[in-house]
């Protein structure tokens, strides 16, 4: 898989993860909102949501028994409530935890009076009527409401309740409150307020802050119907004779009824609910995105910092990958494989590693070249100094007035001086040619030549040279004619350098075979194969180095150490490449391969 595709897949997985987290958060938020909406409905009105929930679980078994949700029945028991199911005649067909003071049958007027609280009843009733399987089913839910009962008791006792309120208002410690009132004062921490018929406060005790002392009619209705808006529950009872109103203010969560277990904090209105819901989703998404950002930054940043440190090390000529505390490269496991976070950068890591190896190799090669150059300069200086000393010595003899030289002696001196000067000139020309080939692209002047004929002439010229008659030089042409664009002078120089190098470093009698071979339709090669001494690995590695000499100065009076380097540059200038195969004691094969596609 390419780096591009790997990164694309990684980013797709990350954004899919964010999408899944977002979807899960939204689903959880809606579930929580539904739960809280049910909780709000239950706090506002016990009849509708509680009864609806109960009747949704209603069913009649085959044996005629009624089934309701055990979970809801358990909740009714916890809340201290009771249930009754009535048929169309007002008769009780099912009851659950019904107290003994509750009727088992209701007349139409009696039920209406109890529901509308026109007739005294010890419980607060909630009713829901729904047709089920063709039968009108009535569900009654009753629960003792201590706040309602306390308000009623205050109104019923009237003047005595007012007297107790006055005493409490003036800070009297021992007050004879009615039992129900004393209970809600202790258990729920309620406040009591007495209003006249016009809604003006007459007396009050322990009221929560922010309550008015004058109530318009709309204010009382709103506080009775929508306590969640104010965060305070209000219960009211009116004295029949005087019309005065007794108000009990209690904390909002003191309301009785069927309470479903809800998740999260308590909410009192829709605005607060939406703020909680969307705020929670926003926080979760921010945390998820923050965590993903940290993870992504660590995943992307750590490899990048590692590569940057690696490159800084390369700038300071330290070519090894940075290692951790255990001495292993930070990017790799013990087995040598890349760690998970580094795998997307596999190509980068391998490229930097290859660059490090190349730079280290080039550094070693540069140091070796510097060392060989120094040795070559010393050798070349020696090679130049020897003929220069001869020239200088003969020149001193010729200009000396102490001797009179004959014509033959002068000619001999001049011949020796010319020979030494020619040798020095060849060394300088070799050096100049090498650098021209290395740095100039227009050195070679190409012409089209028949390679069989050209190479035969080059090999024959050396084979017939008296200096090399003690060696066996063979020529083998290609079976098919081969035409190629070459610089005749430079190509002949390449042939001379390779052949003479092979002869110079092998004993007399060595056989050298030069052959031209046709490869594919677009390739051919020139083979130089001898059965001489061969070369060790070091000599092979340095054969084409500019400053390497296979022999020292004492072994040969000629040779600049540039011949094979020049041959390699000429071959590459003609679109070729050189390959060496050799083993000590088993001869050497040098192959120069050319491709028509590279020929200019």
Asked if 450 and 594 sit in the same domain, the reply is yes
pLDDT classification of 266: cutoffs 50, 70, 90: low
pLDDT at 349: 82
- Paired sense of beta strands 472-476 and 511-518, if any: parallel
Asked if 288 and 162 sit in the same domain, the reply is no
Q: Is the pLDDT of residue 59 over 60?
A: yes
Mean pLDDT over residues 494-515, rounded?
93
Tell me if 178 is assigned to some domain: yes
Q: How far is CA 574 from CA 483, 487, 488, 491, 568, in A?
A: 13, 8, 11, 9, 10
Q: Which structure tokens are listed for 101?
A: 């003071």
pLDDT at 260: 42
- C-alpha 330/C-alpha 325 separation (Å) is 9
Mean pLDDT over residues 384-392, rounded?
82
Tell me if 484 is assigned to some domain: yes
Asked if 510 and 583 sit in the same domain, the reply is yes
Provide the domain count of the chain.
Answer: 5
Cross-sheet strand order for the sheet of 201-205: 201-205, 191-195, 245-251, 232-238
CATH number at residue 573: 3.30.565.10
Asked if 183 and 155 sit in the same domain, the reply is yes
pLDDT at 551: 47
Asked if 284 and 381 sit in the same domain, the reply is no
256 or 593: which leads in pLDDT: 593
User: Of the residues 280, 312, 344, which one is the last residue of a structural domain?
Assistant: 312
Asked if 460 and 582 sit in the same domain, the reply is yes
Q: Which of 110-119, 305-314, 476-485 has the lowest mean pLDDT?
A: 110-119
- C-alpha 227/C-alpha 44 separation (Å) is 7
Tell me if 86 is assigned to some domain: yes
Could you give the residue ranges of the DSSP H alpha helices within 57-178? 70-79, 108-115, 146-157, 159-169
Tell me if 230 is assigned to some domain: yes
Mean pLDDT over residues 435-450, rounded?
75
Q: What is the 3-state secondary structure (H, E, C) of 495-537?
A: HHHHHHHHHHCCCCCCEEEEEEEECCCCEEEEEEEECCCCCCH
Asked if 450 and 591 sit in the same domain, the reply is yes
Q: Is the pLDDT of residue 557 over 50?
A: no
- C-alpha 106/C-alpha 126 separation (Å) is 14
Asked if 462 and 542 sit in the same domain, the reply is yes
- C-alpha 159/C-alpha 386 separation (Å) is 143
In a 13 Å sphere around the CA of 314, the CA atoms on its Cβ side amount to 18
pLDDT at 578: 93
177 or 531: which leads in pLDDT: 531
User: Of the residues 82, 108, 143, which one is the last residue of a structural domain?
Assistant: 143
* Range ranked top by mean pLDDT from 254-263, 317-326, 523-532: 523-532
Asked if 40 and 132 sit in the same domain, the reply is no
Tell me if 266 is assigned to some domain: no
Asked if 157 and 92 sit in the same domain, the reply is no
Structural domain boundaries enclosing 196? 146-255
User: Of the residues 113, 143, 173, which one is the last residue of a structural domain?
Assistant: 143
Q: Which of 363, 385, 382 is nearest to 374 (CA)?
A: 382
- C-alpha 561/C-alpha 546 separation (Å) is 7
Tell me if 318 is assigned to some domain: no
pLDDT at 170: 81
pLDDT classification of 309: cutoffs 50, 70, 90: confident
Tell me if 264 is assigned to some domain: no
Cβ count near 76 (within 10 Å): 21
Asked if 372 and 482 sit in the same domain, the reply is no
Tell me if 528 is assigned to some domain: yes
Asked if 448 and 569 sit in the same domain, the reply is yes
Q: How far is CA 241 from CA 145, 156, 238, 245, 327, in A?
A: 24, 10, 9, 11, 97
């Amino acid at each position: 898989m390419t780096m591009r595709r790997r990164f694309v897949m990684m980013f797709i997985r990350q954004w899919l993860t964010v999408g899944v987290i977002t979807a899960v958060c939204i689903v959880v938020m809606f579930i929580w909102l539904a739960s809280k909406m049910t909780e709000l409905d239950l706090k506002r009105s016990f009849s509708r949501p509680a009864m609806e929930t109960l009747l949704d679980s209603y069913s009649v078994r085959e044996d005629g028994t009624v089934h309701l949700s055990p979970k809801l029945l358990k909740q009714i028991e916890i809340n201290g409530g009771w249930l009754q199911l009535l048929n169309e005649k007002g008769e009780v067909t099912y009851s659950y935890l019904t107290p003994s003071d509750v009727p088992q049958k209701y007349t139409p007027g009696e039920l209406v009076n109890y529901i509308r609280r026109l007739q005294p009843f010890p419980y607060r009733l909630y009713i829901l009527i729904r047709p089920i399987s063709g039968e009108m089913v009535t569900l009654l839910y009753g629960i003792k409401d201590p706040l309602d009962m306390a308000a009623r008791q205050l109104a019923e006792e009237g003047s005595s309740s007012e007297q107790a309120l006055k005493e409490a208002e003036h800070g009297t410690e021992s007050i004879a409150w009615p039992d129900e009132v004393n209970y809600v004062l202790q258990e729920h921490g309620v406040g009591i307020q007495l209003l006249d018929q016009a809604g003006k406060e007459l007396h009050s005790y322990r009221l929560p802050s922010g309550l008015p002392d004058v109530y318009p009619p709309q204010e009382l209705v709103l506080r009775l119907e929508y306590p969640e808006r104010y965060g305070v529950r209000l219960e009211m009872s009116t004295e029949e004779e005087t019309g005065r109103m007794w108000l009990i203010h209690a904390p909002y969560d003191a309301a009785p009824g069927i309470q479903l277990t809800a998740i999260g904090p308590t909410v009192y209105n829709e605005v607060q609910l939406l703020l909680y819901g969307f705020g929670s989703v926003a926080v979760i998404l921010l945390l998820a995105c923050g965590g993903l950002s940290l993870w992504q930054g660590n995943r992307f940043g750590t490899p990048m910092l590692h590569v940057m440190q690696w490159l800084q090390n390369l700038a300071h000529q330290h070519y090894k990958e940075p290692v951790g505390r255990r001495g292993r490269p930070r990017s790799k496991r013990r087995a040598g494989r890349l760690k998970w976070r580094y795998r997307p950068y596999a190509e980068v890591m391998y490229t930097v590693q290859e660059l490090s190896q190349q730079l280290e190799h080039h550094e070693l090669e540069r140091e070796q070249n510097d060392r060989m150059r120094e040795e070559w300069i010393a050798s070349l200086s020696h090679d130049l100094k020897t003929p220069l000393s001869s020239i200088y010595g003969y020149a001193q003899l010729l200009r000396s007035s102490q001797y009179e030289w004959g014509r033959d002696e002068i000619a001999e001196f001049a011949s020796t001086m010319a020979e030494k000067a020619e040798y020095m000139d060849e060394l300088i020309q070799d050096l100049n040619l090498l650098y021209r080939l290395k740095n100039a692209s227009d050195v070679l002047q190409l012409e089209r030549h028949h390679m069989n004929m050209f190479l035969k002439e080059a090999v024959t010229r050396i084979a017939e040279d008296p200096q090399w008659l003690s060696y066996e030089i063979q020529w083998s042409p290609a079976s098919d004619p081969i035409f190629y664009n070459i610089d005749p002078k430079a190509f002949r120089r390449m042939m001379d350098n390779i052949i003479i190098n092979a002869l110079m470093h092998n004993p007399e009698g060595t056989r050298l075979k030069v052959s031209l071979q046709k490869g594919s339709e677009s390739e051919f090669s020139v083979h130089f194969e001898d059965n001489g001494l061969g070369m060790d690995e070091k000599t092979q590695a340095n054969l084409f180095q500019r400053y390497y000499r296979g022999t020292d100065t004492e072994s040969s009076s000629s040779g600049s150490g540039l011949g094979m380097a020049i041959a390699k540059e000429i071959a590459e200038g003609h679109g070729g490449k050189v390959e060496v195969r050799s083993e000590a004691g088993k001869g050497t094969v040098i192959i120069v391969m050319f491709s028509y596609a590279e020929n200019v």
